[in-house]
Amino acid sequence: MSKAKAYSAASATSPLVRTTIPRRDPTEHDVQIGILFCGICHSDLHTVRNEWSSVMATTYPCVPGHEIVGRVTQIGNEVTGFRPGDLVGVGCMVDSDHSCPSCRANVEQFCPDVTFTYNSPDKHLGGVTYGGYSESIVVDERFVLRVPANLESAGVAPLLCAGITTYSPIRRWGDIKGKKVGVVGLGGLGHMGVKFARAFGARVVVFTTSPNKKEDALRLGADEVVVSRNADEMKKHAGSFDFILDTISADHDINAYIHMLGLDGNITLVGAPETPFPVSAFALLFGRKSLSGSLIGGIKETQEMLDFCGEHNITTDVEVIPIQKINEAYERLLKSDVKYRFSIEMGSLKLT
Ligand SMILES: [Zn+2]
Ligand SMILES: [Zn+2]
C-alpha cells in the first residue's frame, strides 16, 4: 500500500481539504496512474454534500473525481495493454463482475456489481473507493482507457463523464447525419452534445432559457438557437425533430419538448431532475414518440468516443484551476458560472 495526496470532505457540510489516502500496490492486472487533470462533475458536488442519500448515501471521508487523465507510472506483471508513460483516462467506473449480462453486452455501467470510481465499496482495501482529486490512482487495466496524444489533456478529462454521457445516446439513436437534433441546455453536458451532434453531421438546434448563450451555442456548432421561454420561437419548431438530447437536471416541462418531436422521434434524458414529472401520454401516442434515459456508457464505447474525439479534434471547453480553488469552484458550479467544465490541474497538489 502507498499513500497519495488528495482532497477530501469529512462530512456533508465540510469543505474539501488536503489529506492523504491509501492506494493499493498494483496487482498483476492493475495500472498505476499519476493524475494530471481531473474534471469537476456535478455528481462530485452532489456526492460530497450527500444530496443523493436516498439512492447512494455518501461514506466519509469522500474523495470525488471521475474525469481522470494521467500517465501510467507502474504496471502489474500481467498487464498487456499499457506501458509506463502512456497517456490514459479513467471515468466513472473502476471495476465490475465481468460476467453478468450487462458486462457481456459491454454496458458495465448497468452491472449489479459495478465499482464506481468513488464512494463505492472498495474490493481491495475495504471502505470505499477514492476518486481523482488525488495525485494517483490504481485501476484494473480493463477500466483504463487510451487517450489520443493529439488532444490537450485538460480538455480530455471531462470527456470521461460529460463526453460519454452525451456521445452514447447519440450513437444509440443511430445515424443522425442530416437529421434535426435538439440539445436542451447548454452546460457541461449540453455543450458536448452540440459538438458530437455537429461532428456526426446533424442539423443542431440548441434550446436554452438564456438568450445570452446564443452566440456561444453558434460558436460551438449549433445551427440555430431557440429561447425556450419564447412561445413563438418554440411553436415554429413543433413536430420537427428526429432526436432531442435533454441535459437539464433542474425541473422543467418535458411535454414542451415531446411536442417538438416528429414521427418516431425520441427524446433522451441524461440529466436527472429531482422531482418526478408528469408526461402527457397523448403527446407520445400521436407520432409514436418515445422518451428514454441514458447513463454514461460502457468501457468499449468510451474508448470509441475518445478515438472519435482524437480523429475530430474534440475536447471539452474547460477552465483550468488549481486544487486549492476547489471549494470556490463548487460555489461557482452551483451558479453555472463556468464555460463549460472545470478541470483541476493536479500538479497543484504538490504546492500544498
Ligand atoms: Zn460525472
Ligand atoms: Zn457485470
Neighbours of ion ligand 2 (CB under 5 A): 96-97, 100, 103, 111
Dump pLDDT digits (tens) for 325-340.
999 999 999 999 999 9
Q: pLDDT tens digits, residue range 306-322? A: 999 999 999 999 999 99
Question: What mean pLDDT comes out for the span 6-29?
Answer: 98
CA of residue 156 to ligand 1 center, whole Å: 13
Q: pLDDT above 70 covers what percent of the chain?
A: 100
Determine the Cα–Cα distance for residues 46 and 38; give it in Å rounded to an integer.
17
Residue that is written with C-alpha cell 451558479 in the block: 335
The region that residue 246 occupies, defined by phi over 0 for left and psi between -120 and 50 for alpha, beta otherwise, is beta
Residues 7, 65: contact at Cβ < 8 Å? no
Ligand nearest to the CA of 113: 2
Query: The pTM is what?
Result: 0.96
* Residue 83 Cα to ligand 2 middle (Å): 27
Judge whether residue 275 has pLDDT over 90: no
Distance 286 CA to ligand 1 centre (A): 35
What are the pLDDT digits (tens) for 31-70?
Answer: 999 999 999 999 999 999 999 898 899 999 999 999 999 9
Q: Write the burial class of residue 229 (CB in 10 Å: 0-12 exposed, 13-18 middle, 19+ buried).
A: exposed
Q: Which ligand is nearest to the CA of 39?
A: 1
Averaged pLDDT, 58-83? 98
Closest ligand relative to 249 C-alpha: 1
**What is the whole-number distance in angstroms between the Cα of residue 307 and the centre of ligand 2?**
24
**Per residue in 100-145, pLDDT tens?**
999 999 999 999 999 999 999 999 999 999 999 999 999 999 999 9
